[in-house]
């Protein structure tokens, strides 16, 4: 399947920007994490090809790059949606029904945890605690926080983002 010229140009533009990011940081001790943050901001996630470019550019083993990416939850090797749904499964949230909330998001979005819709509008994740236990159960969608949720509220929340 051939890529259209716009996709090729965008890919080359991102690769050039990635090389600039690496060049800016390559002689700085401890630069891997800042480079990964900027690369993820650029691409939206850190696919293996991007990790390889970073490893080569910083002259470090790919295993070291992958080890950092897979260790920290803020990095993702999977594409993320425009709207990143994150369901808290910490103790307070779980006790107050977060499992049912997560199931409703899975059903409504047709996703499992860690997946992204084909149109890349939504992605679904779960975390252990976001520190808003008093609002349990809690869900974040990007920077928006939804607390004291019930499963029957999920349809309206998702519909709101579908309309944006």
Same domain, 89 and 156: yes
* 2 has pLDDT over 80: no
- Cis bond leading into 78, ω under 30°? no
Q: Is 107 within a domain?
A: yes
Q: Which residues pair with 87 in a beta bridge?
A: 126, 139
Expressed as residue numbers, the domain containing 90 is 83-163
* 1 has pLDDT over 60: no
The 10s digit of each residue's pLDDT in 113-127 is 999 999 999 999 999
The 10s digit of each residue's pLDDT in 128-147 is 899 999 999 999 999 999 99
Query: CA–CA separation, 43 vs 30, rounded Å?
Result: 21
Same domain, 62 and 99: no
* 97 has pLDDT over 90: yes
Same domain, 107 and 159: yes
Q: How far is CA 63 from the centre of its chain?
A: 21
Q: How confident is the model at residue 53 (pLDDT cuts 50, 70, 90)?
A: very high
Q: Is 148 within a domain?
A: yes
- Cis bond leading into 137, ω under 30°? yes
Q: Is 63 within a domain?
A: yes
In degrees, rounded to 5, the angle at the alpha carbon of residue 50 between the alpha carbons of residues 110 and 15 is 110
Query: Of 71, 103, 119, at which residue does a domain stop?
Result: 71
Query: Of 71, 94, 116, at which residue does a domain stop?
Result: 71
The 10s digit of each residue's pLDDT in 5-47 is 667 877 899 999 999 999 999 999 999 999 999 999 999 899 9
Give me the number of domains the chain comprises. Answer: 2
Token readout for 87 is: 């369901």
Q: Is 78 within a domain?
A: no
Same domain, 116 and 152: yes
Give the predicted TM-score (pTM) of the model. 0.74
Same domain, 20 and 89: no
Query: Of 26, 47, 71, at which residue does a domain stop?
Result: 71
The answer to whether 139 and 152 are in contact (CB under 8 A) is no
Nearest to 44 by CA among 5, 16, 71, 83: 83
């Amino acid at each position: 399947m051939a890529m259209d010229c716009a996709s090729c140009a965008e890919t080359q533009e991102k690769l050039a920007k990635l090389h600039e990011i690496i060049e800016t940081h390559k002689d700085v001790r401890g630069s891997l994490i800042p480079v990964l943050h900027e690369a993820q901001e650029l691409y939206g996630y850190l696919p293996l090809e991007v990790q390889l470019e970073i490893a080569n550019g910083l002259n470090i083993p790919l295993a070291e790059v992958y080890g950092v990416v897979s260790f920290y939850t803020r990095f993702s090797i999977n594409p993320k949606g425009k709207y990143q749904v994150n369901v808290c499964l910490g103790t307070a949230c779980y006790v107050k029904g977060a499992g049912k909330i997560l199931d409703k998001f899975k059903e409504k979005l047709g996703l499992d945890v860690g997946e992204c819709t084909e149109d890349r509008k939504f992605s679904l994740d779960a975390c252990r605690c976001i520190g808003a236990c008093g609002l349990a159960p809690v869900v974040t969608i990007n920077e928006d926080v939804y607390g004291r949720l019930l499963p029957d509220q999920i349809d309206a929340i998702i519909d709101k983002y579908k309309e944006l």
